Structure 1
Amino acid sequence: MSTTHNRCRLVLIVPEMTEAEETARVVGDALRGGDVASVILPQYGLDEHAFQKQAEALVPVIQEAGAAALIAGDSRVAGRAKADGLHVTGNAEALAEAVEKFTPKLIVGGGNAADRHHALEMGEVRPDYIFFGKLEGDIKPEAHPKNLALGEWWASMVEIPAIVMGGTDPDSALAVAETGAEFVALRLAVFADVSQAASVVSAVNAMLDEKAPRFED
């Protein structure tokens, strides 16, 4: 999850798929498209056994590509799959508990910061990142205006990195980058047509290389 690049980097959210091996193949193909900082694996409707199987198939693929593998919600699955981190979808209290229990062994970050008050509450527990938006929040081509506004406000005043959820259009990544956020999360923008996932990752990276604002050292 490092911000070694001097511009906004890509975070991928695994799409809803049931077959572990097929999911690993699809994500592996996408990662061949270029730079990805991390990949977040949501549980969706899978039971714990199926989620565990999927995590164990995906984590090595993600790590071999040089990205951080983050498991959403289930610390036991994250531990058994030897993931790099845990994405907490609960409130500030749940995030604080995870930070206390698992850092620095795991990357621990949180979402569900729907407004400034809750974002600041989460920031107080010093997570590794704050996520603005929902993992399945890409319901329109553009990123949600509220998430863009929160990301811009956060990036202007807090050092904890921000991930902002993009939309279903890959070009929405640039609007996120322009907020000053360190990371943009994409799901359907990359995986709507899995055969094009690698080329979308490549195109988004090229766009960010060309147009995204640069961070100061």
Structure 2
Amino acid sequence: MSDPDNRCRLVLILPPNDDLEQQAKQLEEALSAGDVATVILPQYVRNDQQFQSVAERLVPITQAYGAAALVAGDSRVAGRAKADGLHFEGSNEELHDALAKYTPKMIVGAGGASERHRALEIGEAQPDYIFFGKLDGDIKSEPHPKNLGLGEWWASMVEIPCIVMGGNDVSSVVAVSETGAEFVALRTAVFDHSEGPAAAVAMANALLDEKAPRFEA
């Protein structure tokens, strides 16, 4: 197997699931099957107390497998669950405040970059990464063409790493890797896979090993 650090790596986004123990089991299966750089936990429609319980259960599992656990949106939940960082979507002022408050102790990445001007505004704040797409944007088998275009543009000119949202098919990792993006995010492609999360992660890494371009040292 090749070194995953020199090619596009996998980011997992947890889908909504009312059965926390089932989700914990699925997450362990996914993480045990191959390289995963990061896991992002969105709040969805959970209230703060429910989200706190989810984070406290899933963050340690993520970290035990060497992946970074990021909480989307709620810094208090992230802090109490001892997450590695925050996935942030908000105004420029709020992003600057979050970066000033939490870095370098925590990873702070930013989404909400739906076009180039907004992406450059986010980049000026110097987050740890920028995310192209929506956390629940995997509605088709292939990645959204706009996100691929933004990822390719960004990766060619900006040093801040980018994550591009993949589609709901594992094979979508190839199109994302070809943009030069450092990371590809998958959600239902892994957790709703017919053969299970472990098979999906193994397949994604095999495709990236075989087809992803290599980064220069």
Same-fold call, TM cutoff 0.5:
yes
1:186 aligns with 2:152: no
1:138 & 1:23 partners in 2: Cα distance? 19
- Percent identity (aligned): 64
- Preserved contact between residue 166 and residue 176 of structure 2 (Cα < 8 Å): yes
**Alpha-carbon distance in 2 for matches of 1:14, 1:42:** 7
| TM superposition score normalised by structure 1 | 0.96
- The aligned amino acid for 2:126 is R
**Which residue of structure 2 aligns with residue 110 of structure 1?**
110
Counterpart CA distance in 2 for 1:43 and 1:194 is: 25
Write the letter of the residue equivalent to 2:207: M
Deviations 1:12-55 (A, max 9, x none): 00011123222211111111110000000000110000000000
Cα deviation 1:52-73 (Å, max 9, x = unaligned): 0000000010000110000000
Would the aligned equivalents of 2:4 and 2:209 in 1 still touch at CA under 8 Å? no
CA contact (8 A) 2:89 2:112 kept: yes
Structure 1: gaps spanning 5 or more residues: none
How far did 1:4 drift? 6.6
Shift of 1:92: 2.6
Partner SS, residue 150 of structure 1: helix
TM-fit CA distance, 1:196: 1.1
TM-score (norm 2): 0.96
CA contact (8 A) 1:166 1:184 kept: yes
- C-alpha deviations, 1:72-131, integer Å up to 9, x for none? 000000000000000002233222111111000100001000000000000001000000
Match of 1:62 in 2: 62
Report the CA distance between 1:158 and its aligned residue: 0.2
Give structure 2 stretches of 5+ with no counterpart: none
Partner of 1:48: 48
Separation of aligned partners in 2, 1:17 and 1:32: 20
Moved >4 Å (runs of 4+):
none
Shift of 1:194: 7.2
Q: Deviation digits for residues 143-168 of structure 1, max 9, x if unmatched?
A: 00000000000000000000000000
- SS of the residue corresponding to residue 70 of structure 1 reads strand
For 1:39, the equivalent position in structure 2 comes to 39
More divergent stretch after superposition (181-190 vs 14-23): 14-23
Say yes or no: does 1:149 pair with 2:146.
no
Give 3-state SS (helix, strand or coil) of 1:109's partner: strand
